[in-house]
Amino acid sequence: MTQIVKMKGMNKHFGKLHVLKSIDLTVEQGEVVVIIGASGSGKSTLIRCVNGLEEYESGILEVDNHPLAPKAGNQKTLAEIRKGVGMVFQQFNLFPHLTVKKNIMLAPMKVKSASQVIANATAERLLERVGIGDQADKYPSQLSGGQQQRVAIARALAMEPKLMLFDEPTSALDPEMIGEVLDVMRELAKDGMTMMVVTHEMGFAREVADRVIYIHEGKIVEEGNPSEVFDNPQNERTQAFLSRVLAH
Amino acid sequence: MEFQFQFDWQAAINAIPFLAKGIPYTLMISFGGLAIGFLLGILFGLLSINKNWFLRWPAITYIEIFRGTPILVQVLFIFYGLPDLIGAPIDPLTAGIAAIALNSGAYISEVVRGGVQSIDKGQNEAGLSLGLSRTQTFWSIIWPQAFRRMIPPLGNQAIVSIKDTSLFSVIGVGELVRQGQVYIASTFTAFEVYFVVALMYLAITLSLSLVLRLVERRGLASI
Ligand SMILES: Nc1ncnc2c1ncn2[C@@H]1O[C@H](COP(=O)(O)OP(=O)(O)O)[C@@H](O)[C@H]1O
Ligand SMILES: [Mg+2]
């Protein structure tokens, strides 16, 4: 088994706030790991460390066999890691000045020096894959939230990542659009993509996750397959959290 | 005794050819200065938000000095003061262009800073997470968006600078106001001449506003 992410004793502070407390976590190739926890518990910070959007202070982090040292690490390593790790944000973060297709073509052309023709073909294929092949020449603002998030997924996939990070990809969406984004993610998982997903969609977690992790105040307090975590949580914090979110 | 003032249309029309000779100078000083000022503005605007304190403070010093002193003092300093320092005279046209460049450069630095800082952090994170370098992320993602937001304040600065050139009659550069003063000295038709001078400024600034409005509309259509 290949480990795509390896964290050992990772610590991170924001000033005095100890946000990640001695995190041990590994993600195997092809695994879907869903991270749950209350708002402010450190879920975003955890996955943002994986592609170096946040620095950490101590411990070990290896992504796809590249060790990323604490405190910014090495710029070359960082670039190498980011090429192989896609990220999807809660607020989509599409580039508003570029058409949908150009959003997807940008990184392959700039980072991998892909030709216009190749990048274009990739973009068209990926837009088909996420079900919006007919929107290629529109600008992001002309699309619905669900469509925008699917473009964001296609944009990340264009770099052919080994790992995809999702930070609450459906939290900014109107309820009727959540399903279309989760469907795309479900397909990705089925195709064997390695994924780390922060979400409050417990149904999705139960169905798609190989492993569920519950974080409380920067600490992993529960970890297991979905039925272990959801049906038989060991930690009382997890029990309390689940009874709160599953209640409605 | 009753005093009656009559606007002398003939005098106004007669003045036009002589006054119009000032237009090329006004345009040269404004747009020459603004072109350099734009480059200075990009340079010092970006330096002023650099993480590195040693790059940041000279930029901020420059901006504060040129925003905090009158442009009239700046041009007098360049034209009459600097020659003492460098030991050679500076011609009025060069002094005028330099004053507009340095002055507008300071204001444009602030426009650039504001434009860049107004772009959502998520744009930078999206670029970096796709594997783009900081430089690539800046120039292909942040800058194009920031620039669009900068167009209205840049247009504003251009209009201010065009009007600022009118002060440079004091160093004897033959721009619009200077031409007017020279003409009035022999014809004593101040009212008519300044009226025509004002119209000429208005023609320049209104044309610019119109162009900017068109550019802005095209630029914003895609956002
Ligand atoms: N850039 C930052 N600077 C300071 N504090 C931050 C920053 N980002 C997050 N935090 C704090 O760190 C904690 C964890 O945040 P986050 O990882 O975003 O939590 P979650 O994603 O689980 O809601 C929160 O208390 C949050 O306020
Ligand atoms: Mg979060």
CATH of the domain at A172: 3.40.50.300
Number of domains in chain A: 2
User: Which chain A residue lies closest to B124 (C-alpha atoms)?
Assistant: A93
Note the pLDDT tens digit of each residue in A65-95: 999 988 866 788 899 999 999 999 999 999 9
Q: Whose CA is nearest to atom 16 of ligand 1?
A: A42
Of the listed ligands, the closest to the CA of A89 is 2
Question: Which of A68-82, A157-171, A175-189, B178-192 comes out lowest in average pLDDT?
Answer: A68-82
Distance, in Å, from the CA atom of A188 to the CA atom of B79, rounded to the nearest integer, reads 69
Residue B202: which domain range? 17-218
Asked whether residue A247 is assigned to any structural domain, the reply reads no
Who surrounds ion ligand 2 at CB < 5 A?
Answer: A 44
Residue of A245, A206, A246 whose CA lies nearest to A225: A206
Of the listed ligands, the closest to the CA of A48 is 1
A86 within ligand 1 shell (Cβ under 6 A): no
Mean pLDDT value across residues B203-210: 96
Chain position carrying tokens 């930078």? B124
pLDDT at B222 over 90: no
pLDDT value of residue B215 = 85
Contact A41, A217 (CB under 8 A): yes
Residue of B154, B79, B120, B129 whose CA lies nearest to B223: B120
- Number of alpha carbons in the 13 Å side-chain half-sphere of residue A199: 26
Asked whether residue B25 is assigned to any structural domain, the reply reads yes
pLDDT value of residue B153 = 96
Of the listed ligands, the closest to the CA of A46 is 1
Residue A168: which domain range? 1-71+162-233
Chain position carrying tokens 């005098």? B11
* Ligand 1 atom at shortest distance from the alpha carbon of A38: 22
Asked whether residue A194 is assigned to any structural domain, the reply reads yes
* Chosen domain end from A110, A135, A161: A161
Q: Please report residues of B whose CB lies closer than 8 A to that of A103.
A: none
User: Which chain B residue lies closest to A80 (C-alpha atoms)?
Assistant: B131
Span from the CA of A35 to the centroid of ligand 2 (angstroms): 11
- Say what percent of chain A tops pLDDT 70: 99
Distance, in Å, from the CA atom of B163 to the CA atom of B204, rounded to the nearest integer, reads 10
Asked whether residue B5 is assigned to any structural domain, the reply reads no
Asked whether residue A77 is assigned to any structural domain, the reply reads no
User: Residue A45 carries which side chain, given as an amino acid letter?
Assistant: T
Contacts of A12 (CB under 8 A, 6+ apart): A18, A19, A20, A42, A45, A49, A54, A55, A56, A57, A218
Asked whether residue A241 is assigned to any structural domain, the reply reads no
Contact (CB<8Å) A155/B129:
no
- Say what percent of chain B tops pLDDT 90: 90
pLDDT value of residue B219 = 66
User: How far from B64 is each of B48, B55, B103, CA to CA, in Å?
Assistant: 11, 15, 10
Same domain, A117 and A173: no
User: Which chain A residue lies closest to B140 (C-alpha atoms)?
Assistant: A106
CATH at B28: 1.10.3720.10
pLDDT value of residue A248 = 62
Same domain, A154 and A203: no
User: Which chain A residue lies closest to B219 (C-alpha atoms)?
Assistant: A97
Tokens of B153: 């304040």
Mutate to test the interface with B, among A51, A93, A171 (most CBs of B within 10 A): A93
Contact (CB<8Å) B141/A83:
no
A45 within ligand 1 shell (Cβ under 6 A): yes
Note the pLDDT tens digit of each residue in A108-126: 999 999 999 999 999 999 9
Same domain, A66 and A171: yes
Tokens of B176: 């619009």
Number of domains in chain B: 1
| DSSP secondary structure letter of residue A162 | S
Span from the CA of A105 to the centroid of ligand 2 (angstroms): 28
Same domain, A122 and A157: yes
* Chosen domain end from A161, A183, A211: A161
pLDDT value of residue A137 = 96
Contact A51, B126 (CB under 8 A): no
Asked whether residue B4 is assigned to any structural domain, the reply reads no
ipTM of the complex, rounded to two decimals: 0.95
Asked whether residue B47 is assigned to any structural domain, the reply reads yes
Residue of B103, B112, B189 whose CA lies nearest to B148: B112
pLDDT value of residue B220 = 58
Asked whether residue B2 is assigned to any structural domain, the reply reads no
Same domain, A154 and A194: no
Distance, in Å, from the CA atom of A70 to the CA atom of B134, rounded to the nearest integer, reads 19
Same domain, A66 and A177: yes
Q: Whose CA is nearest to atom 5 of ligand 1?
A: A14
Under an 8 Å CB criterion, which residues of A touch B? 51-53, 79, 82-83, 85-87, 89, 91, 93-97, 106-107, 110-111, 139, 141, 155-156, 159
Tokens of A49: 């460390």
Contact A196, A33 (CB under 8 A): yes
Asked whether residue B45 is assigned to any structural domain, the reply reads yes
Asked whether residue A245 is assigned to any structural domain, the reply reads no
